[in-house]
Amino acid sequence: MDSQTQTKFVVEQTKSPIGRPASQRQTLVALGLNKIGRRSSLIDNPSTRGMVASVAHLVRVVDGE
């Protein structure tokens, strides 16, 4: 499958990782997030969904983009 044909979704960081475990901070960086309000477009696959689920309390999925 080509990355052009794969579906994507957008996540936005809504909370700070201060005081969170290092693994959650590293997950945010891996998702392309490091500041509140920053958005990242991600390919929709099980591994990415799992990463978003592990930091769901710090991010939100943005609709319509």
Instruction: Catalogue all structural domains in the chain, each as residue range(s) with its CATH number.
Output: 8-62 (3.30.1390.20)
Q: pTM value?
A: 0.85
- Chain segment 2-59, per-residue pLDDT in tens: 656 789 999 999 999 999 999 999 999 999 999 999 999 999 999 999 999 999 999 9
What is the model's pLDDT at position 65? 59
Q: What is the pLDDT of residue 63?
A: 79
Torsion 24-25-27-32 (CA) sign: positive
Torsion of CA 25, 29, 35, 36, to 10 degrees: -70
Task: Give the pLDDT confidence score for residue 64 in this predicted structure.
Answer: 60
Distance in angstroms (rounded) separating the CA atoms of residues 43 and 52: 12
Alpha helix (H) ranges present in 18-65?
22-30, 46-54
- Eight-state DSSP code of residue 61: E
